[in-house]
Amino acid sequence: MKSFQYLAPIPQFDYLAPRKLSEVFDLLEVHGREAAVIAGGTDLTIALKERTAAPKVVIDLCHLRSELGGITYGKGVLRIGALATFSEIEASHPVAKYANALREASANVGTLQIRTIATLGGNLATASPAADSAPPLIALGANVGILGRSGERTLPVQGIFAGPKRNALQVGEIISSVEVPALGGVRSAWTRAAVRNENVLSAVSVAVASIVRDGTFGPSRIALGAVAPTPMLAETASKAMTGSRATAERAEEVARLAAEDARPISDIRASARYRKHLVHVLTRRLIMGVLSEERVS
């Protein structure tokens, strides 16, 4: 019974807050899998209480905001530091301009009191299938920057998810940033279904990014959350949408294909069948939104 463990203190650990990135890598090298990295801490603190994490050492990145934080735009790339909080992302003008789906998802993560400390890098590192930041980033074709002692590598955002609550970081690596291609004319949107509107995990979340031009869908991507072991690109649906005529009939067909792409399970939040239904409805709603936005602009 998990809940009883909350009555006992969190097991002891050493807490370290390095002032340099190189010290982070030193510590990760020494402590390996016995170390946990903490950014905002909203996931790790719960894992410590539930004993799903029992690190000997906790490495706090709080002094590395200048290296790992901030949101900048330049040369067609929106760069969001791993330590950027969801409140910062929600309030960012470049995010609103170039990554609307991410802004919408960020404004719905957790609660106000969680968004003020929870970070984008932490959300990705926790690798929940329901991570709300993931579908927008996947739909927008974003990459994750991963930093290790020997340098940086990048993965498409879906590549950081290795399985439910399992990330693709090697020992000694941390997430440094997320880079979103910031192209003019891209419309993106995110929505989700859950048992209530706020303060809840998504039963299904969907993001769509597309360029609509001359009555046609240009490059388009649909990404889904909480309907597979990891957030996923709805490949069949994305391909069917790209290059097709921008009509309500096509939106319906693409939405149906997105529901087929989904591979959900049944759990306490929704049945597999209901999740597929939700993917269909939410995808169609988002595409119609992208279409109507196009008409008014």
Partner 1 sequence: MKGKVRLNFRLNGEERHDEIEPNQTLCDYLHDVAGTTGVKKGCDTGECGACTVLLDGMPVTSCLVLAPQVDGRDVVTVEGLGKTARPNPVQRAFVEHDAVQCGYCIPGMIVTLSWIRDHVPEASDAEIRRLMSGNLCRCTGYQQQIDALKTALGTASRSG
- Binding residues for partner 1 (CB under 8 A): 6, 9-15, 17, 38, 40-42, 45-46, 48-49, 58, 60, 62, 87, 110-114, 116-117, 197-199
Task: Write the CB contacts of 235 (distance below 8 Å, at least 6 apart in sequence).
Answer: 261
Q: In whole angstroms, how close is the CB of 198 to partner 1 at the nearest point?
A: 3
Which tokens is 148 given? Answer: 């290790």
CB nearer to partner 1: give 202 or 230. Answer: 202
Task: Write the CB contacts of 226 (distance below 8 Å, at least 6 apart in sequence).
Answer: 129, 130, 201, 202, 203, 204, 205, 264, 269, 275
CA–CA distance, 203 with 31 (Å, rounded to integer): 36
CB nearer to partner 1: give 46 or 162. Answer: 46
Q: In whole angstroms, how close is the CB of 57 to partner 1 at the nearest point?
A: 10
Phi, psi of 129 (to 5 degrees): -60, -25
CB nearer to partner 1: give 14 or 29. Answer: 14
CB nearer to partner 1: give 197 or 297. Answer: 197
Tell me the three state secondary structure of residue 9: coil
Are 261 and 223 a contacting pair, CB within 8 Å?
no
What is the identity of the amino acid at 276? Answer: K
Nearest-10 crossing angle of helices 248-261, 272-296: 150
CB nearer to partner 1: give 28 or 259. Answer: 28
Q: 């989904």: which residue's tokens?
A: 262
Which tokens is 69 given? Answer: 């934080």
Q: In whole angstroms, how close is the CB of 12 to partner 1 at the nearest point?
A: 4
CB nearer to partner 1: give 116 or 154. Answer: 116
Q: In whole angstroms, how close is the CB of 53 to partner 1 at the nearest point?
A: 12
CB nearer to partner 1: give 194 or 240. Answer: 194
CA–CA distance, 56 with 165 (Å, rounded to integer): 20
Task: Write the CB contacts of 50 (distance below 8 Å, at least 6 apart in sequence).
Answer: 2, 5
Q: In whole angstroms, how close is the CB of 281 to partner 1 at the nearest point?
A: 23
Q: In whole angstroms, how close is the CB of 259 to partner 1 at the nearest point?
A: 29
Q: In whole angstroms, how close is the CB of 45 to partner 1 at the nearest point?
A: 5
